Amino acid sequence: MPILRHFTNLFCLSCLLCLNACQSQSRLIQGEMTTRNEEDLKYYLYYPEGYDSNPGAKFGVLLFLHGGGESGMTLDAITNTGPPKMLVEGKQFPFLVLAPQNPHKKKWWNTQALMLLLEEVVQNNRIDPKRIYLSGLSRGGSAAWSLVVQYPERFAAMAVVCGMTPLPYAHWIDKEMPIWVFHGAEDEVVPISESDQMVRRLKSMGYMVRYTRYKDVGHDSWHKAYGTDELYAWLSEQRRK
């Protein structure tokens, strides 16, 4: 009996060790999950003079993306900078202006949600799909770079103010789309080297890039950039082929 009991104990111990060994082995499984991209985007939409009185005419539209300082706040916060600020001060633009707000204080723009909003506005208004312009400042400028990388055939022109983007993606941007970059030389938030390097790379590949560097200007280069009347005339001249 003692021998049998000893054999039984050894057998049980062997089984336990084998079970533990099987449980500790690595595994590779295959799975699938359907996700849904939802975002609550509040926005301003400006209609230019003549839109209502010319029902047969089509207009361009500027998608403007604000910076991080206006994110996750009340909608009127975005009227502190850029075209929305100019609009409340009485500025007239020759095209529609779509100015959404990033609802997240410390998150990047949801570019997929932005495109869904843009397409909705284009489809429900008299907008020429060949005259869709893009501009953004700081975090919004970075989102603008991201949009033209992901959707290279959507925009007629882009103006970026103190934004940044990875250099390797430069060749994904549509070579036929004109670009105007603005940056302050004393920017301590987004170093001007971000724009210097990107502009240099694009020009070396034959892209149509204008570059305005502001001497003795810090991160708030958007005041000078969006105060440039020539910018809006330049945008209005652009059209996708």
- The answer to whether the CB of 61 falls within 8 A of the CB of 133 is yes
- The answer to whether the CB of 155 falls within 8 A of the CB of 130 is no
Domain range for 82: 39-237
User: What pLDDT, on the 0 to 100 scale, is given for residue 12?
Assistant: 54
**Residue 32 lies inside a defined structural domain of this protein:** no
What is the distance between the alpha carbons of residues 133 and 96, in angstroms, rounded to a whole number? 10
Residue ranges in the chain whose pLDDT is less than 50 = 4, 7, 17
**Residue 34 lies inside a defined structural domain of this protein:** no
**Residue 110 lies inside a defined structural domain of this protein:** yes
**Residue 11 lies inside a defined structural domain of this protein:** no
User: What pLDDT, on the 0 to 100 scale, is given for residue 4?
Assistant: 46
Tally of domains within the chain: 1
Residues whose CB is less than 8 angstroms from the CB of residue 159 and which lie 6 or more positions away in sequence, other chains included:
133, 134, 135, 179, 180, 181, 182, 225, 231, 235
| Residue 207 one-letter amino acid | Y
Q: Which residue in this structure is represented by tokens 């992901």?
A: 150
Least Cα distance to 145 among 100, 109, 94, 121 occurs for 109
- The answer to whether the CB of 131 falls within 8 A of the CB of 96 is no
Task: List, as own/partner pairs, every contact residues 50-59 make where C-beta atoms lie below 8 angstroms and the sequence separation is at least 24, other chains included.
Answer: 51/96, 51/126, 55/126, 57/126, 58/126, 58/127, 58/128, 58/131, 59/94, 59/95, 59/96, 59/126, 59/127, 59/128, 59/131
**Residue 30 lies inside a defined structural domain of this protein:** no
User: What pLDDT, on the 0 to 100 scale, is given for residue 20?
Assistant: 56
How many CB atoms are located within 10 Å of the residue 106 CB?
9
List pLDDT tens digits, range 57-110: 999 999 999 999 999 999 999 999 999 999 999 999 999 999 999 999 999 999
What is the distance between the alpha carbons of residues 24 and 48, in angstroms, rounded to a whole number? 67
Strand partners, 180: 159, 210
Least Cα distance to 138 among 74, 216, 226, 56 occurs for 226
**Residue 151 lies inside a defined structural domain of this protein:** yes
- The answer to whether the CB of 194 falls within 8 A of the CB of 187 is no
Q: What is the length of the chain?
A: 241
Give the domain CATH number at 131.
3.40.50.1820
- The answer to whether the CB of 131 falls within 8 A of the CB of 61 is yes
**Residue 12 lies inside a defined structural domain of this protein:** no
**Residue 102 lies inside a defined structural domain of this protein:** yes
Alpha carbons within 13 A on the beta-carbon side of 149 = 17
Strand partners, 233: none
pTM for the whole structure: 0.87
